[in-house]
Amino acid sequence: MSVADLVLIGSVLTVDDAQPTAEALAVSDGRIVAVGERADVESRIGPDTEVVDVGEGCVLPGLVEAHGHPLMEAIALSERMVDIRPVTMTSADAIVAAIRTEVARRGQQGAYVNGWDPLLQKGLPEPTLAWLDGIAPDSPLVILHNSGHKAFFNSAAAKRAGLTRDIADPKGARFGRDANGDLDGTAEETAAVFPLLAGVISPSDYPSMLMAECARLNRAGLTTCSDMAFDPVFRPMLDALRGDLTVRLRTYEISNPEMRSTARPGDGDDMVRQVGIKIWVDGSPWIGNIDLTFPYLDTAATRTIGVVPGSCGHANYSREQLREIVGAYFPLGWPMACHVQGDAGIDTILDVYEEVLHQHPRRDHRLRLEHVGAITDAQLRRAHALGVTCSIFVDQIHYWGDVIVDGLFGPERGSRWMPCGSAVATGMRISLHNDPPVTPEEPLRNISVAMTRTAPSGRVLAPEERLTVEQAIRAQTLDAAWQLFADDVIGSIEVGKYADLVVLSADPRSVAPERIADLEVRATYLAGRCVYAKPL
């Protein structure tokens, strides 16, 4: 019997059906070597063993963000960009003042701002090209919408990015134009937004930004995070930082016009691994471009975001384009993760998935749907029958729940937004996610919101869609790891798996659901090494 490097004593919630709880666990060389009763585990304590008694706290598997953007969030939350997200600022006057201050401070460097959201930040001015040019007449200014699906840019930013009226819209994206065909200072979707950020930072600045991002994730109890819009340009940098990272990364590369990758499925190691390919059907409910079978409401909220009365939104990719993209990658062994919010778009991608699975059967494909706000029960049953799994952005209820019902879709459609309960009822393994930086990395709030479905006003949306605490915890640990093809090494506290762990201030099963979001993360361990400890 080997002597342990680390022993944790106290309440242990394993997320292992064979042994759901334990009194202690032992770690050696980064792996869990014993889980069970305290007396049995203590037999592995030697003179050099670190022994931690968690007291009234609780040990869980390290939490997993199944749909994140850490490589982009590292930039968005760095000193180089101004954070005006609704979680940071709500006053329209304060937001405009912060933008003006940044323009003056940066000069010809250009000002870059992230988090514009007129649905939650009442009274924002309309960010027309004239308004943007008025604030920054001589230097670049780029404002990212909080959804990440839209950007507003001034004339100087367009010039720096080489954007002219003759530029063609990229596949799946668009530049807004006025009645004369000139650029109007708006860009929608990744392929149009990302060029506006080119050169925003120096490559030498990025490693420290990414390490700060890892620290943020660790403070939230996260030990694994996907990157759901991976650009291969980051690959050499990740290789160089692999030994310094404190979060495991699982990447989904953005599909490209050539529809090929220089990587192979599963390339990498247990710290950084390329899992799959990311594709899109539609955009964001907050900018009006999700693909629905029913119309947006005609309200002050929808008029604020520019939705034409009677609009059912739209898809950004046609069925034929999706068939071509999936047909190029999937036969090569790539798993796919598809961003889709509207129910019409969900029908489209399920049709495409079904066709490619018929042509190229694969027993364990773990094809994914991302966000799925408007998914129906019939679509969930169909997805599960195909072996398709959903990652659900349940935190939208916490921030936009009232707007979803009253401002965008009405009580019938809006109340069952993000139907976690119906998804689990099919037998599907789901994950919960935050899509940071859209909402902060707050996995404990995800668990709480999935259990309560409470909107900001305090009303409960579709209580029948609530999860139990056990279901919600699985969706933030083991089942999230399974979606990322990592459940063989993380996601539960089992002998042989990495000792990726989080110590909470209390057992989430023992507190009221609404209090789970407020539990403290006291420590986070990656392979048995403490990567975060709450200051005393």
Residue 186 maps to which CATH number?
Answer: 3.10.310.70
**What is the tens place of the pLDDT at every residue in 327-343?**
999 999 999 999 999 99
What's the predicted TM-score (pTM) here?
Answer: 0.96
Is 438 found in the same domain as 333?
A: yes
Asked, for residue 2, whether it belongs to a domain, the answer is yes
Is 443 found in the same domain as 345?
A: yes
Please give the mean pLDDT across all residues of the chain. Answer: 97
Is 503 found in the same domain as 446?
A: no
**What is the tens place of the pLDDT at every residue in 103-159?**
999 999 999 999 999 999 999 999 999 999 999 999 999 999 999 999 999 999 999
**What is the tens place of the pLDDT at every residue in 69-101?**
999 999 999 999 999 999 999 999 999 999 999
Domain's final residue, options 150, 179, 197? 197
* CB-CB neighbours of 137 under 10 Å: 12
Region 211-237 average pLDDT: 97
Region 266-279 average pLDDT: 97
Asked, for residue 432, whether it belongs to a domain, the answer is yes
Say which residues have a Cβ less than 8 Å from residue 434's Cβ, sequence separation at least 6.
65, 67, 68, 393, 395, 440, 441, 442, 443, 446
Is 388 found in the same domain as 239?
A: yes
Quote the pLDDT of residue 268: 97
Is 304 found in the same domain as 263?
A: yes
Is 108 found in the same domain as 45?
A: no
Domain's final residue, options 197, 215, 250? 197
Measured in degrees and rounded to the nearest 5, phi and psi for residue 324 equal -65, -45
Measured in degrees and rounded to the nearest 5, phi and psi for residue 367 equal -60, 140
The two three-digit tokens of residue 461, written as one number:
């949306």
Quote the pLDDT of residue 232: 96
**What is the tens place of the pLDDT at every residue in 296-317?**
999 999 999 999 999 999 999 9
Domain's final residue, options 163, 197, 231? 197
Is 241 found in the same domain as 187?
A: no
Domain count along the chain: 3
Checking if the pLDDT of 202 tops 90, the result is no
Is 303 found in the same domain as 261?
A: yes
**What is the tens place of the pLDDT at every residue in 513-522?**
999 999 999 9
Checking if the pLDDT of 344 tops 90, the result is yes
Asked, for residue 446, whether it belongs to a domain, the answer is yes
* CB-CB neighbours of 107 under 10 Å: 11
Which H or E run includes 532?
strand 529-533
**What is the tens place of the pLDDT at every residue in 462-499?**
999 999 999 999 999 999 999 999 999 999 999 999 99
Say which residues have a Cβ less than 8 Å from residue 168's Cβ, sequence separation at least 6.
none
Is 229 found in the same domain as 184?
A: no
Asked, for residue 75, whether it belongs to a domain, the answer is no
Is 338 found in the same domain as 482?
A: yes
Asked, for residue 73, whether it belongs to a domain, the answer is no
Structural domain range at position 187: 81-197
Choose among 443, 258, 254, 418: nearest CA to 336. 254
Is 114 found in the same domain as 35?
A: no
Residue 55 maps to which CATH number?
Answer: 2.30.40.10
Residue 460 maps to which CATH number?
Answer: 3.20.20.140
Is 464 found in the same domain as 341?
A: yes
Asked, for residue 67, whether it belongs to a domain, the answer is no
Checking if the pLDDT of 405 tops 80, the result is yes
Quote the pLDDT of residue 199: 79
